[in-house]
Amino acid sequence: MEGINLVSTFAEFKEGKNIDRPTMMSVLEEAFRAQLEKMYGEGSNFDIVINIDKGDFEIWRTREVVEEVEDPATQISLEDVRKIDDSYDVGEDFVEKVELSQFGRRGILNIRQNLAGRIMDLENANLYNRYKERIGEIIVGQVHQSWKKETIIHDEDKNELVLPKTEQIPSDFFRKDDTVKAIITDVEMRNNKPVITLSRTSNLFLEKLFEQEVPEIFDGLITIKKVVRIPGERAKVAVESYDDRIDPVGACVGVKGSRIHGIVKELHNENIDVINWTNNKQLLIQRALSPARISSMEFDEANKTVNVYLKPSEVSVAIGKGGCNIKLAGMLIDYQIEAYREVDEAEAAEEEEDVLLDDFSDEIDGWIIDALKAIGLDTAKSVLALPVEEISKRADLEDETVEEVQRILRSEFE
């Protein structure tokens, strides 16, 4: 009965772990043979017959009958054989059945432990290979545990997947049993255990979400040329159609935003700009900075920078909240974009009487000046022309800080 339990236990385990029959048979045979080698010093002269379907097994030992034994592991004396069966002669093979009781309690325990270890190694290898082939796929799982540095996700088979905090959107907040959608970015073995890493901040995650929502992308009629993101804030997706009858932007957005709405919701209201791709960098910048209207631009190919000139009212639109719009536009073309106000002669004359914020670097901290310049306020008069509350909100500064800056600037003109 112990033998039946030993084999049937791992036969059931096989079904749960999806290990194929030949592999399971091989593992069972190796486990028994390893224990036989420990007990008898030799395992090659044993025949192990396993019937997983019935949950039983038999072990037969073969030894050569000799007059004088030189190797007890493979030989048996004629005298000893004839005590069992007197029909044997020297030179014949004596076959006898090995009973489970001969293994002893410790031997059975060793077999169980060996089997458990081997099967776990097989399962880990299968899991590694299965997920290695799925890198770049979106997976939907359930939150098992959420910690400070990472969240553990369970797939449909209860395998553990890791979603690091660094790969989560800043506004992500997970509770146990929440459903999470993410992309598989990496699979590696650590201490013989597969570690499957997920991401929700990857550009590829956004690209795959578009493939799921837009059939034309999945079918290859529309191609995503490039994706740039500041996760949780804003993203720009450049698309191109190989069919002149298809409007790639319209297809991606959908009627009344029906297609892109699901993506925006999944990304916690991340602003997504879908633009028509073009190899013309100048035109691509204009599309990327829309709705801001660019008056002119200058390329510096050596330093990979572009200076764009806009009307004063358009500068803040081009820069965007926290400078993310102009930053993403630069990432889209692999150039650094700098925005400047375009002024006419009358404004230029007035500008000459103005003072640049950089001239106050000895009185105002550099990070404050940078924050003001990021929203298009690069001169003293431009800062003094706006209410404190508006500057605070747009530059993400404290009211007291803005009031102090305006006091310093005001004293320059007084």
Question: In sequence order, what DSSP letters do the residues of 128-186 get, joined into one string?
Answer: HHHHHTTTT-EEEEEEEEE-SSEEEEE-TT--EEEEEGGGS-TT----TT-EEEEEEEE
Give residue for tokens 């916690």: 268
Q: β-strands 179-190, 160-164: how paired? A: unpaired
The CATH architecture that domain 345-413 belongs to is: Orthogonal Bundle (1.10)
**For the segment 11-28, what is each residue's pLDDT rounded down to a tens digit?**
555 554 566 777 777 878
Residues 83-129 have pLDDT tens digits of: 888 888 888 888 888 887 787 788 878 877 887 778 788 888 889 99
- Residue-level pLDDT at 1: 38
Look up tokens 């395992």; give the residue.
Answer: 43
Q: Which residue has the tokens 């080698």?
A: 37
pLDDT value of residue 52: 66
pLDDT in tens, the chain (414 residues): 344 455 555 555 555 456 677 777 787 888 888 888 888 887 788 888 877 666 667 888 888 888 888 888 888 888 888 888 888 888 888 888 888 778 778 887 887 788 777 878 888 888 999 999 999 999 999 999 999 899 999 999 899 999 999 999 999 999 999 999 999 999 999 988 999 999 999 999 999 999 999 999 999 999 999 999 999 999 999 999 988 889 999 999 999 889 999 999 999 999 999 999 999 999 999 999 988 899 899 999 889 999 999 988 888 889 988 889 999 999 999 999 999 887 655 555 554 466 888 888 888 888 898 888 888 888 888 888 888 888 888 888 898 999 998 888 888 766
Q: What's the confidence (pLDDT) of residue 207?
A: 95
With residues binned 3-state (H G I as helix, E B as strand, rest as coil), the percentages for the chain, rounded to 5, are 45, 25, 30
- The DSSP H or E segment spanning 94 is strand 93-98
Q: Directed axis angle between helix 281-288 and helix 324-333, to 10°?
A: 160
The one-letter amino acid at 12 = E
Q: How many CB atoms lie within 10 A of CB 366?
A: 9
Three-class SS of residue 289?
coil
Q: What is the pLDDT of residue 75?
A: 86
- What pLDDT does 149 receive? 92
Q: Where in the chain is the domain with CATH 3.30.1480?
A: 2-130
Q: Where in the chain is the domain with CATH 1.10.150?
A: 345-413
Of the candidates 26, 46, 24, which has an alpha carbon nearest to the alpha carbon of residue 35?
A: 46
Task: Retrieve residue 99's tokens.
Answer: 């009973």
Tell me, what's the pLDDT at 358?
82
Asked if 51 and 67 touch (Cβ cutoff 8 Å), the reply is: no
| CATH class as words, domain 141-199 | mainly beta
Q: What is the pLDDT of residues 141-194, one digit of tens each?
A: 999 999 989 999 999 989 999 999 999 999 999 999 999 999 999 999 998 899
In CATH terms, the fold of domain 2-130 is N Utilization Substance Protein A; Chain:P; domain 4 (3.30.1480)
Residues with Cβ < 8 Å from 66, sequence gap 6 or more?
Answer: 75, 76, 77, 78, 90, 91
pLDDT score of 55:
62
- With beta carbons less than 8 A apart as the criterion, state whether 351 and 382 touch: no
